[in-house]
Structure 1
Amino acid sequence: MIAARLALSELRRLAAGTLPRLALLALVVIPSLYAGLYLFANEDPYGRLHDVPAALVVEDRGATATDAVDGRTRDVRYGDQVAERLTGGEGGFGWVRTSQRDAEAGVRSGRYDAALVIGPSFSADLVSVADYRPRQASLTLLTNDANNYLSTTIADTVVGDVRDAIATQVGTQAADEFLQGFGSIHTELGAAVRGASELVDGAQRLASGSTELVEGTGRLASGAAQAADGAAALAAGTRALPSSAGRLADGAGRLSQGLGTLRDRTSTLPDDTRALATGAQQVAAGAGEVAGVADEVAAGVQQLDAAATTAREVLDVRLAALVDAGRLTQQEADEVAALAADALGGVDALDEAVARAAGRLDELGSGAAQVATGAQQLADAAPALSDGIATAAAGGRQLASGTAQLRGAAGTLADDLDRLAQGTAEVSTGAQQLAAGSGTLAQGASELDGGLTELRDRLSAGLGAVPDLDRATEEATARTIADPVTIAKDELARAGSYGAGLAPFFLSLAAWIGGYVLFLLVRPLSSRALATGAHTWQTAVGGWLPGVLIGVAQVTLMYLLVTYALDIVPVHGAATLGLLVLASAAFVAILQALNVWFGAVGEFLGLVLMLVQLVTAGGTFPWQTIPEPLLSLHRVLPMSYTVEGLRQTLYGGDLGTAASYAGILAAVLLAALAATAWAARRRRTWTPTRLQPELVL
């Protein structure tokens, strides 16, 4: 009760008279003026940046960009796009397009706070990546801290945002063309896979046909070798035919001469008929030999003809198969068939010639036998022979003529058989080469099949690895590649404006100022209470309560002004007002203790303590950025906890954290009151210094 009476008495003293009342009103209003003016001035400075003049210089000459997918070109002027973005309201400042000389002069003189210069090669540098000669495009920012340091900082941020936006745009276009190129690659690779599959099918057919070719050419080479051997044997057998035919011709000539002599000398017929019978028998024996050789030759030629016919049939079948399989053209097959026909055609002619010669030799043998029989009959019946001599002479002439023809045919037959042997040998060699070549072809076809199969499989695997995106996915992917990170804000507590962000600091500072000015009028302790010997706690609280009551009026008015006039509405209004009241009470207690302990010096220390807390409370920048030893002071001075607590209540933070800060302020309050009570105990004793202080304010 003593403390309440002391407080009421002090309030009556302060309200006694018009000027004291006005002074008391001023004490109540001062914190609201301080906090209100500061918060009003800093309510939304970023929203008024358009009033800050800045120069914009666009020297970009533009460039031609080539589409990497379809090769189409387009003209781009990224410098103009940047200018439109800045002057269209996204640039923050009030941008004015001008020349570089004017921009530099304006920044130097302060007419412009900053200037942005877009160089002549800006667009060309941005599209240089498409030519694989990449160059970074640059923006030149002219600033002058002598104009305003924060303008430079804000200009850096604005230009950085513009740079990010242009980089995202260009990166999106480049990524889009890149992904479209993947689509083209996928399409072309799909066509390549289909072509490779067709090649694999053709290679498999080639391998199968080449295997059949190897088998056919092997049989052809074997048949050709047999034909060559037969032709060689036939040629060797017919080499004795010309000499035998010569002997036969000689014998036929002599026979003709003998028949002539016989015709002329029929008078000696009995003797001559015996000689004739002997000669006829010799002729019959020679004709038999010749006929036997001719039969052997005819048999050999028939075998050769059969082998040649077989070889021709086999060759025709294989050539037709090769043409059907596409391994040989019809013209090449016809040339091979013509070559074989030329080589084997002589066999047919030889067969006919030998058959005719054999027939004639058979006739000759038959005739010789008849001559021998006739000669014997003539010898037995010489008188009846003279009539047949003329016929025999005529037959002798025919025999001589036929044997002469046989001699010529035998020579021709021998020559033909030699050529046949040579031709069949060449055919055999060619067939062997063809067989060897077909084997190489078969091996190559097998390797080709394996290589093409591997190519098809690898192309198929590559096709699966190349993305095939639809247009919407391409565009979304391109945007993500160009701007892969987005910031999703999860605001646990939000100030809402720059002014609201500074409110905890200015409200705390205003509460301290309000407590500081109180003791310009309010007495920290009642001298009468000290003189009457009242309890020191009651005296301390009695001196503290008037300041607290005025402080409540100060922070209440300040709270109403900030909430309703400046529209900074606290999320937790009651907690905010309660914390302001507690902070004001704690600040009043601290300032009371300083005044009680140090008098006029205590008032000066209160001002110094306000200045120290101004830089240590962390009201603007995070308190962790404060250097030592100020950082240590941040942890022990009360305004730090007032600022942190008001942030929780104003923005909707953690009330538990705010309560802990309130607990620290309450502890500071009690400690300050205890210090005042201790000082009140000491002040019961009057000293010369108290009676006549060295410094009076």
Structure 2
Amino acid sequence: MKNILRIFKYDLKKIHKNVIAMIVIMGITVIPTLYAWFNITASWDPYGNTGNLKVAVASSDEGYSGELLSVNLNLGDQVLTTLRGNSQLDWTFTSAKKAKEGVKSGKYYAAIVIPKDFSKDMMSIFTSNVTHPEIKYYINEKENAIAPKVTVKGANAVQQQINDTFVQTVSQTALEAFQLVNNVADETDDQTIADNLSAALAQISTDLSSAAGTVQAFSDMANSAAIMLNTTTEFLSQSGSGTKASVNALGVAGNGIDSLNSALTGTTDSINQALSQSASFYSAVSTCVGNALDSYNSDAQACANALNTVSGRVQNLIDGYQSLENSLSQIADSITEPHLKGMLMQAIGNIQKAKASQEAIRNAINDAATGITSATANATELKNNIDGLIAQSNSSISTVKKDYENNVKGSLDDLANDLTSTGSSITSLLGQLDNSLKDISGVTGSAAGNLTEVQKALSDSASLLNEASGKMSNVATAMLSSDDNGIQLLTSLLSEDPEAIGSFLASPVKLNETHIYPIENYGSAMAPFYSTLAIWVGAVVMAAMLKVNVSDNLKHKLNNPKEHQLYIGRILLLLCIGFLQSALICLGDLYFLGIQCEHPVLFVLAGCFSSLVYVNIIYALTVSFGDIGKAIAVVLMVMQVAGSGGTFPIQCAPEFFRKVYPLLPFVHSMNAMRECIAGFYGMNYWIELGKLALFLIPALLLGLILRKPVIKLNDAFTEKLENTHLI
């Protein structure tokens, strides 16, 4: 211990007496802080400055003059007017030609061009030839990696603004037109316009009724998927055959549902997931049956009970297939398109075959349980028989899944898109009908939770559509009668509830956003990564600038020093400088940059402890391998920058980095700092520091013990390098 302290005091004395040495030490201490602070400052709020991104906007829209409804509409001009007051991006208004040329030259990051027939195409929903309007979006992805992601959000906002403007304008104009028609009818008894409106409303009623039936069928499909996934997931989990995908399967349909279309297509995805798990389910059934029959001779009653339990699970899955068959039959009955109906009927036939093969498995298991109870069964024969039936069932299930993936799913998704298109048409005529949908929005707001909530939301949606269909049908009938109060009835209906149906069809789900561990700005979120990186850089700079070995002159002054004394004596100086570096970095983050931090003292502690570990790792590498060790330290730094999940979720990284992720010191330093910045969860902070401390073991093992065999090899390598007079 005495020699260790003498080395440390000697180092401090040498620094104190040498001004140049003091300046170098100060530089080594300060440089890493600049690295962290500059990067954190540059990342402070990049998305708050998107107003500087130039995006060109051009409208060639020629507008629309109404025939059925007396309305002059130019959505392109209205969009330009709205964007002039929008500061989300630096909107630049120009011509279509200049906008496209500006994107090519790099003057603009992106351009949005509204074509000349845009308003006309929007109003084509009132004709037999519906044309979907398009907005042309041009993006220069060469200029910057992030800018395209930001500008596309602006383009989406423009699209939503156009939809809102269109719905509001048409619905308000329609109400005014209905009043006008009523006045004209009173004065002239001319029912031509009223007849046209009546026919349009009758078609809307038919579309709503058809949509309600389809939505209800999808609701039943969601229920089928829930039954099948609940059965397979629970059984696989209990049998030890479950996977992470199985455990999370019930959330598949709910993720990201923000429109009717995504709710419907999410349901078809869940059916595909349920079919995929059926084969795994029956593999687990085979295993459980085999385990049960193995206990036949020792405990026949327990064997029979186990078989009865497995039989019950098989029956549950059969019920799911029966429910799926009923849902597809309901859809097949409600459509007239021959090709789709034919594919659905073929799928129903395959499901019936799969159901029959599963019923055979259930019956065989029941017979086995009965035979075991009566002591008349042969376990081997029973197992072989059941395995044969399972093989047949897996084959039929595979046929169902292949047919569903290749034919049925795509057709059902197209049907969902058609339903959404129908809803968009109705929305355009009636406007956004928000008020009557507050209750259903509250229900569907939780649809992302699981399939049961999706099924309930779709069922409630179908009920609302049926109710709206009935109202439209009543109004159309009244308008066709000789009673000239039909228009007044329609006007009264829409005036009482002017925004309900349109709002629902446009977006049936409200997003209620709750921030868990909120972070004020992007700079605070990035502080753990850049601070951790700066601490490592500081340790690398020390290893490169300072001598890691004690001089021969000092060794002669010591009293027979041991190798470990020389090692520890010199590392004390590096640790002190490392503590200064990390403390200055963390304190600067807190009080110079002003990052958010719930636990500032523990934040500094995490930084200092990280420095302790990093200095030990890099010092051990440098002492043991010399210049090669320094190179290894740099390689480790580069690997951790890419694979520690500091900028993007590690799940987005290539497989190699996902595998080495837990083995990187950066990961645990950053996790501990994040706990301090955003708030603690349990003992996570101390757990992460504990994991970080484990890296001290191999570092000390290398520096104090394992480096001895490689000293001669390292000395020879160093001598060769010095002979070059270059390194």
- Shorter chain as normaliser: what TM range? 0.5 to 0.7
Paired residue for 1:7?
8
Note if 1:484 corresponds to 2:480: no
Note if 1:147 corresponds to 2:143: yes
Please give the residue correspondences for 1:390-429 in structure 2 after superposition, counting only pairs within 5 Å.
Answer: none
Paired residue for 1:611?
638
Is the CA contact (8 Å cut-off) linking 1:114 and 1:141 kept in structure 2? yes
CA displacement 1:339-389 (0-9 Å, x = unmatched): xxxxxxxxxxxxxxxxxxxxxxxxxxxxxxxxxxxxxxxxxxxxxxxxxxx
Paired residue for 1:555?
582
- What is the CA distance between 1:533 and its match in structure 2? 5.0
Note if 1:585 corresponds to 2:612: yes
Is the CA contact (8 Å cut-off) linking 1:86 and 1:92 kept in structure 2? no
Letter in 2 for 1:662: L
Question: Aligned with 2:137: secondary structure?
Answer: strand
Paired residue for 1:82?
79
Match of residue 101, structure 2, among 77, 100, 105: 105
Paired residue for 2:431?
none
- What is the CA distance between 1:658 and its match in structure 2? 2.5
Matches of 1:14 and 1:633, distance apart in 2: 40
Is the CA contact (8 Å cut-off) linking 1:595 and 1:603 kept in structure 2? yes
Note if 1:95 corresponds to 2:122: no
Paired residue for 1:231?
none
Is the CA contact (8 Å cut-off) linking 2:624 and 2:714 kept in structure 1? no
Matches of 1:130 and 1:687, distance apart in 2: 84
Please give the residue correspondences for 1:34-433 in structure 2 after superposition, counting only pairs within 5 Å.
Answer: 34-64=35-65, 74-87=71-84, 90=86, 92-171=88-167
- What is the CA distance between 1:36 and its match in structure 2? 0.8
- What is the CA distance between 1:133 and its match in structure 2? 3.5
Per the alignment, do residues 31 and 551 of structure 1 end up closer, same or farther by CA in structure 2, a change over 3 Å counting? same
Question: Aligned with 2:146: secondary structure?
Answer: helix
Q: Which runs of 5+ in 2 are unaligned?
A: 180-193, 199-472, 479-489
Greater CA drift, 685-694 or 558-567: 685-694
In the superposition, the TM-score normalised over structure 1's length comes to 0.54
- What is the CA distance between 1:472 and its match in structure 2? 6.4
Is the CA contact (8 Å cut-off) linking 2:75 and 2:165 kept in structure 1? no
Per the alignment, do residues 132 and 576 of structure 1 end up closer, same or farther by CA in structure 2, a change over 3 Å counting? farther
Letter in 2 for 1:517: V
Matches of 1:127 and 1:43, distance apart in 2: 45
Is the CA contact (8 Å cut-off) linking 1:171 and 1:482 kept in structure 2? no
Letter in 2 for 1:31: P
Matches of 2:575 and 2:492, distance apart in 1: 76
Question: Aligned with 1:90: secondary structure?
Answer: coil
Per the alignment, do residues 686 and 135 of structure 1 end up closer, same or farther by CA in structure 2, a change over 3 Å counting? closer
- What is the CA distance between 1:680 and its match in structure 2? 5.9
Letter in 1 for 2:529: F
- What is the CA distance between 1:25 and its match in structure 2? 0.9
Paired residue for 1:220?
none
Question: Aligned with 2:645: secondary structure?
Answer: coil
- What is the CA distance between 1:40 and its match in structure 2? 1.3
Paired residue for 1:692?
719
CA displacement 1:471-494 (0-9 Å, x = unmatched): 465435543442322322221112
Matches of 2:144 and 2:520, distance apart in 1: 25
- What is the CA distance between 1:513 and its match in structure 2? 0.4
Per the alignment, do residues 180 and 58 of structure 1 end up closer, same or farther by CA in structure 2, a change over 3 Å counting? closer
Q: Which runs of 5+ in 1 are unaligned?
A: 190-457
Question: Aligned with 2:65: secondary structure?
Answer: strand
Per the alignment, do residues 503 and 181 of structure 1 end up closer, same or farther by CA in structure 2, a change over 3 Å counting? farther
Greater CA drift, 96-105 or 163-172: 163-172
Letter in 2 for 1:646: M
Per the alignment, do residues 476 and 558 of structure 1 end up closer, same or farther by CA in structure 2, a change over 3 Å counting? farther
Is the CA contact (8 Å cut-off) linking 2:50 and 2:150 kept in structure 1? no
- What is the CA distance between 1:33 and its match in structure 2? 0.4
Matches of 2:178 and 2:3, distance apart in 1: 91
Give the number of the structure with larger relative contact order, counting CA–CA contacts within 8 Å between residues 6 or more apart: 1
Letter in 2 for 1:551: G
Is the CA contact (8 Å cut-off) linking 1:8 and 1:546 kept in structure 2? no
Greater CA drift, 517-526 or 27-36: 517-526
Question: Aligned with 1:95: secondary structure?
Answer: strand
Match of residue 544, structure 2, among 510, 514, 520: 520
Question: Aligned with 1:33: secondary structure?
Answer: helix
- What is the CA distance between 1:656 and its match in structure 2? 1.9
Paired residue for 1:22?
23
**How many residues matched?**
419
Matches of 2:33 and 2:150, distance apart in 1: 30
Matches of 2:655 and 2:175, distance apart in 1: 54
Question: Aligned with 1:127: secondary structure?
Answer: helix
Is the CA contact (8 Å cut-off) linking 1:85 and 1:91 kept in structure 2? no
Per the alignment, do residues 6 and 148 of structure 1 end up closer, same or farther by CA in structure 2, a change over 3 Å counting? same
Per the alignment, do residues 685 and 62 of structure 1 end up closer, same or farther by CA in structure 2, a change over 3 Å counting? closer
CA displacement 1:534-557 (0-9 Å, x = unmatched): 455544433332222212211222
CA displacement 1:659-691 (0-9 Å, x = unmatched): 221111111123312221115655888986288
Per the alignment, do residues 589 and 125 of structure 1 end up closer, same or farther by CA in structure 2, a change over 3 Å counting? same
- What is the CA distance between 1:638 and its match in structure 2? 0.8
Paired residue for 1:663?
690
Paired residue for 2:593?
566
Letter in 2 for 1:521: M
Matches of 2:491 and 2:575, distance apart in 1: 74
- What is the CA distance between 1:528 and its match in structure 2? 7.3
Sequence identity percentage = 25
Letter in 2 for 1:673: L
Q: Which has the larger radius of gyration?
A: 1
Paired residue for 1:200?
none
Matches of 2:649 and 2:12, distance apart in 1: 41
Match of residue 603, structure 2, among 576, 579, 591: 576
Per the alignment, do residues 563 and 471 of structure 1 end up closer, same or farther by CA in structure 2, a change over 3 Å counting? farther
Is the CA contact (8 Å cut-off) linking 1:180 and 1:474 kept in structure 2? no
Matches of 1:163 and 1:675, distance apart in 2: 61
Matches of 1:683 and 1:5, distance apart in 2: 27
Is the CA contact (8 Å cut-off) linking 2:69 and 2:173 kept in structure 1? no
Letter in 1 for 2:79: V
Per the alignment, do residues 474 and 554 of structure 1 end up closer, same or farther by CA in structure 2, a change over 3 Å counting? same
Is the CA contact (8 Å cut-off) linking 2:626 and 2:718 kept in structure 1? no
Paired residue for 2:650?
623
CA displacement 1:278-331 (0-9 Å, x = unmatched): xxxxxxxxxxxxxxxxxxxxxxxxxxxxxxxxxxxxxxxxxxxxxxxxxxxxxx
CA displacement 1:418-476 (0-9 Å, x = unmatched): xxxxxxxxxxxxxxxxxxxxxxxxxxxxxxxxxxxxxxxx989x99xx99968465435
